[in-house]
Amino acid sequence: MKAETATAKQSQDLLQVEELNIHFPTDHGMLKAVNGVSFNVYRGKTLGIVGESGCGKSITGKAIIGIQPKTSAISGSIKLGDVDLVKLKRNGREIRAIRGSKIAMIFQEPMAAFSPLYTIGNQIMESILLHRTKNKKEAAMLTVDILQRVGISNPEKRFHQYPHEFSGGMMQRAMIAMALSCEPELLIADEPTTALDVTIQAQVLDLMKQLQREFGMAIVFITHDLGIVAEMCDEVAVMYLGKIVEQATVREIYKNPKHPYTRGLLRSIPTIGSRKERLESIEGTVPIPINMPPMCGFFDRCQDRIPGVCDKREVPETQLSDNHRVSCFLYADTDNETEILS
């Protein structure tokens, strides 16, 4: 019975990230942009990765499609089935075959996805020709179809336009079309709607959910906005300074947030009809993770810090329940605390 359950769960696993580290050697020491990050992505489900700017979200997303910066050292594993993406040659044949067909990414910067030199249609078609069909006519038809489906009107005309002829909102849609054109099993969406106004943002989010239902794809949804997470995600991983400090189902995170950082992020969500004049934001800024001593990275900004404990060693992870884990000394078990205090 137990074995059956384990097999059933395994078949839902799409991607397993284990102990991922992405470090940059600098003149001042080692910058640990991603530091021991582990999470699973399940088929057809959405995992949110939230945290303020500079926490390591984009770099984690990029590592999954194998485009971590050249100057970085990467270790740990990112398993897609039996293949460990970390072990593949950087920009080699194997990762290029996976990128686009199995895993696609919507970048934080829409212009990063397109060259200014070719038409939008040609660039999406190239990707379809590489991964789905060798027939040019069919690829052109599929391109027009996907442009239409992301809500670009007059797609036959738009096909022949260049990136500079598209507005910001249209570029965002074109990039989503590009990412979805090969019906990936996993979509990494990095702040996909941050640059859009609220109405278009809502349309784009609806579209992503609709296409997720149609294709059954999994999404890693990267954002600094916990308000959007409630709408889009099944699970949330909260990142701070290159680490996941809390992870739980969406319901659990909103009902029962544990980490002082998560609580701070939740207090800074604007609510419709809220009487608050000003939103609370977390005081202080995200430090640069160079030469961090073994201590909680949130210590300096934390309202609940315990001096002499939180600044004395690495924070252990506590599994609070099947679907909730947190790294904070407030929840570390007492055995550990006795050890620290003794």
Interface residues with Mg ion (CB under 5 A) are: 58
Q: Judged by CB under 6 A, which of 25, 29, 69, 81 binds ligand ADP?
A: 69
Q: Could you tell me which residues come within 8 angstroms of residue 149 by beta carbon, excluding any fewer than 6 positions away?
A: 177, 180, 207, 211
Neighbours of 296 (CB within 10 A): 27
Smaller CB separation from ligand ADP, 58 or 123: 58
Task: Give yes or no for a contact between 110 and 175, defined as CB atoms under 8 angstroms apart.
Answer: yes
Q: How far apart are CA 143 and CA 141, in angstroms?
A: 5
CB of 86 or CB of 211, closer to ligand ADP = 86
CA–chain centroid gap for 289, Å, is 19
Candidates 57-65, 78-86, 149-157, 271-279: pick the segment binding ligand ADP (CB under 6 A).
57-65
Q: Which is nearer to ligand ADP, 56 or 184 (CB)?
A: 56
Question: Which structure tokens are listed for 2?
Answer: 């137990």
The C-alpha atoms of residue 115 and residue 119 are separated, in whole angstroms, by 8
Per the CB < 8 A criterion, the answer to whether 223 and 255 are in contact is no
Say how far apart CA 223 and CA 228 lie, in whole Å: 8
Instruction: Assign 112 to helix, strand or coil.
Output: helix
Decide: is 189 part of the binding site for ligand ADP (CB under 6 A).
no
Q: Give CA–CA dist 38/91, Å, rounded.
A: 23
Binding to ligand ADP, residues 267-306 (CB under 6 A): 288
To ligand ADP, the closest distance from the beta carbon of 63 in angstroms equals 9
Residue 151's CB: how many other CB atoms inside 10 A? 17
Q: How far apart are CB 55 and Mg ion at their closest, in Å?
A: 8
What residues have CB less than 8 Å from 21, skipping those under 6 apart?
32, 34, 35, 36, 37, 73, 74, 75, 76
Nearer to Mg ion, 58 or 127 (CB): 58
- Residue count (the chain): 342
Q: Which of residues 9-28 bind ligand ADP (CB under 6 A)?
A: 24
Q: Does 58 bind ligand ADP (CB under 6 A)?
A: yes
Question: In the complex, what is the shortest distance from the CB of residue 13 to ligand ADP, in angstroms, rounded to a whole number?
Answer: 24
CB of 137 vs ligand ADP, minimal distance in Å: 40
Q: Which does 45 bind (CB under 5 to 8 A by kind): Mg ion, ligand ADP, none?
A: none
Among residues 11, 12, 53, 321, which is the contact residue for ligand ADP, using CB under 6 A? Answer: 53
Among the candidate windows 49-57, 120-128, 138-146, 310-318, which touches ligand ADP by CB under 6 A? 49-57
Q: Which stretch binds ligand ADP (CB under 6 A): 48-56, 76-84, 118-126, 334-342?
A: 48-56
Chain residues that interact with ligand ADP, rule: CB under 6 A:
24, 31, 33, 51, 53-59, 69, 71, 288
